[in-house]
Amino acid sequence: MLTVKMSVNGKPVSAELEDRTLLVQLLRENLRLTGTHIGCDTSQCGACVVHVNGVSVKSCTLLAVQADGAEVTTIEGLAKNGVLHPMQQAFMDNHGLQCGFCTPGMVMSALDIVKRNGSAVDEATVRKELEGNICRCTGYHNIVKSVQAGAKSMGG
């Protein structure tokens, strides 16, 4: 057992964990932040993407202890005072989600895509960069639209 401490969505957290505990397990089971999902066991699907120190990370592939001392942001940390983040709003406005299971990971990846590619990111880049997030519902058509629209509104 070991103790990990980190900041999750701006709040300090501390937990006693088995050494083998994954970050996603800490989030879902210990902190009950169940918006981060587990869709596969090979780091392929991206349903578990969160931000660790501002970088998108597949939380199923990181031991919790590796995030010791880090600042972690999950889907629950995006909306402020009941107002959706522009990227969340873009997904709603563009029907970028259906069953909702891949959605948190998609939104978290989208934010990282915008951070690295700017608010005018083109369709081909979005498609290429979403390679690590799988959706079975939407055919990606409206996810790509959502990411571009969200990028635009984030850029002001």
For another protein, the closer of residues 69 and 122 by Cβ is 122
First to last CA, the chain: 46
Q: 14 pairs with which residues across the strands?
A: 5
Task: Based on the shown chain and the rule CB under 8 A, indicate whether residue 95 belongs to the binding site for another protein.
Answer: yes
Contacting residue, 114, 130, 149, 151, with another protein by CB under 8 A: 130
Query: From the CB of residue 44, how many other CB atoms can be counted at a distance below 10 Å?
Result: 14
| Contact set for another protein, span 19-48 (CB under 8 A) | 20, 28-29, 32-42, 44-45, 47
Contacting residue, 4, 24, 65, 144, with another protein by CB under 8 A: 144
Part in contact with another protein (CB under 8 A); list of ranges 51-59, 63-71, 96-104, 114-122: 96-104
